[in-house]
Amino acid sequence: MTVNIGLNAIISSFICSSIFHPIDTIKVRLQGSKRPLTKNIYKGISLRYVTAGVQSLTFWTTYEELKKTKKIPESAALASLLASAAETPFDIMKRRAQLCKGPISYRSMYHYILLNTLANVGISTSYHSLLEQVGPLHSGFITSILTYPIDTLKTITIAQKFPKQHELFLGFLFKICYITGYLNLNTYMMNSINDVNKHNKYI
């Protein structure tokens, strides 16, 4: 069962990354006060596949196991903490590629690791805790609002440049589209595939 969940997580992350990477790239460039469309918006997609695959594999296998004995908020927080530790090095490289930025200092890397962990735990805990209470669209929207400040600080840590007000606002709109779309599609695919597997198991 865990192997099936892991494979499903990698497949769903690949599909979601292919669809939503351009939106994330535009968001990141706006947060980093860079022109969003002057470079290839699929830049960093290979690193996105690695980052999302590692994150999704770690999160879903851990989350589904923890849900058997723990409540959803606690399960999501612990699973995302482990997933963040696994995917952060790749996420740093991915965001640097999106911003067309060179190496960063060890101090900036330390700050990014801390912010990325806080962001991932916040996103997963908020989204999965709210999902059954308010539905997928509202949970994605609320999660975007709660985690956008930390996400922006992550980008500033690498870009070393503060965005203008209109860039912050536009970045927020793309954040809503990215978080709501990615999380909902990823969760829907995982639940659908798991339901099919459970159904086949009893046939």
Tens digits of per-residue pLDDT, 83-97? 999 999 999 999 999
14-56 pLDDT, tens per residue? 999 999 999 999 999 999 999 998 778 999 999 999 999 999 9
Q: Which two tokens stand for residue 140?
A: 């994605």
pLDDT attached to residue 109? 93
141-194 pLDDT, tens per residue? 999 999 999 999 999 999 999 999 999 999 999 999 999 999 999 999 988 876
Q: How many CA atoms lie within 13 A of 200 on its CB side?
A: 8
pTM: 0.90
Residue 203 pLDDT > 60, yes or no? no
pLDDT attached to residue 191? 84
**C-beta of residue 188 within 8 angstroms of C-beta of residue 196:** no
Where are the alpha helices (H) located in the chain, listed in sequence order? Answer: 2-31, 45-66, 72-99, 106-134, 136-159, 165-201
pLDDT attached to residue 201? 56
pLDDT attached to residue 86? 95
**C-beta of residue 43 within 8 angstroms of C-beta of residue 191:** no
Q: Which H helix or E strand runs over 89?
A: helix 72-99
61-85 pLDDT, tens per residue? 999 999 999 999 999 999 999 999 9
Q: Which two tokens stand for residue 133?
A: 């209470």
Average pLDDT, integer, range 103-121: 94
Q: What percent of the chain has pLDDT over 90?
A: 83
How far does CA 124 lie from the centroid of its chain? 9
Sign of CA dihedral 151, 157, 163, 165: positive
For residue 38, give the DSSP letter: S
User: Could you give the CA distance from residue 162 to residue 43 in angstroms, rounded to a whole number?
Assistant: 22
Domains parsed from the chain with CATH numbers: 2-194 (1.50.40.10)
Q: Residue 55, class by beta-carbon neighbours within 10 Å (0-12 exposed, 13-18 middle, 19+ buried)?
A: buried
Q: Which two tokens stand for residue 111?
A: 């700050």
